[in-house]
Amino acid sequence: MGMTPRLGVNIDHVATLRQARGESYPSVVEAANVCLSNGADQITIHLREDRRHIQDTDVEAVRLVTKRYGKPLNLEIGCNQEIIDIAIATNPDWICLVPENRQERTTEGGLNLLDEKVFEKVKSTCETLKDKLPETLISLFLESDLSVLEKASQIKCDAVEIHTGDFARAHLNGEDYERYLSDYKKAQDFLESKKIGCHAGHGLTLESVKPLLEMKLFVEYNIGHWIICQAVFDGLGKVVSDLNQLFEGNQL
């Protein structure tokens, strides 16, 4: 028996619903509980600079839930000093560095490491995090472009999370997505040669994750928006449980 790929559930949009009314519900703590008790391997949250969904107090609250289950917390952050300080204080299992732009509706792509200023900022952030949090693992949210991945291999990171948004949209629209699969395979081969973990995230659904699982491309998948949307109809526990069963049937 091989290893089952890890299912990370991003619960940001439970907080989006809560913030829409400024109420205390729905609870992100309860969401984390339900996800982990239904087979999720980790919880992912993004503390954005504009605090549009996850709030500072949520980070510690969700961290306590993941600790209770003995499962990782994956904290997504931009390279902003105030947010980095919160990440250091929280000491999560994983930190995923992502680009942030106040105007965007959601993260629109990977970090552009080909831009020298971005590269230096990400490199120094990783060095700071490794110094302050030696046990915490770091991933970088990137496109599957080999020139970008080559730059990533010059940074102290443990994994790369490949931005799967364009693939997921093509899949959803019934367009040809083979070129994405071939790009992801090349990315996987390159990252494995550098001993860097290969993760995936953004825009994935139960259907679009299937070809990725079948090709055994990634060791970890972070899925959020679709899970929370589908939970409106099926309930959060069932959606996570169905995904978990799919993952267990597609061992690496």
Query: Residue 239's closest CA among 17, 71, 15, 13?
Result: 13
CA 144 – CA 142 distance, rounded (Å): 6
Angle between helices 225-234 and 12-21 (to 10 degrees): 70
Q: Give the count of alpha carbons within 13 A of 40, CB side only.
A: 31
| Token digits of residue 161 | 């999370």
Q: Which is catalytic among the residues 53, 171, 199, 202?
A: 202
| Phi, then psi, of 220 in degrees rounded to 5 | -150, 140
Q: Which residues pair with 10 in a beta bridge?
A: 44
HSE value, Cβ hemisphere, 13 Å, CA-based, for 60: 6
153, burial (CB in 10 Å: exposed 0-12, middle 13-18, buried 19+): middle
Q: Is 163 a catalytic residue?
A: no
Phi, psi of 54 (to 5 degrees): -70, 135
Here the tokens at position 199 are 């993760």
Residue 227, token pair as written in the block: 């899970």
Residue labelled with tokens 């982990």: 36
Catalytic-labelled residue, pool 46, 53, 163, 171: 46
Determine whether 202 is an active site residue: yes
Here the tokens at position 144 are: 């599957």
User: Which position among 13, 53, 76, 220 bears the catalytic label?
Assistant: 76
46 catalytic? Reply is: yes
Could you give the residue numbers annotated as active site?
46, 76, 202
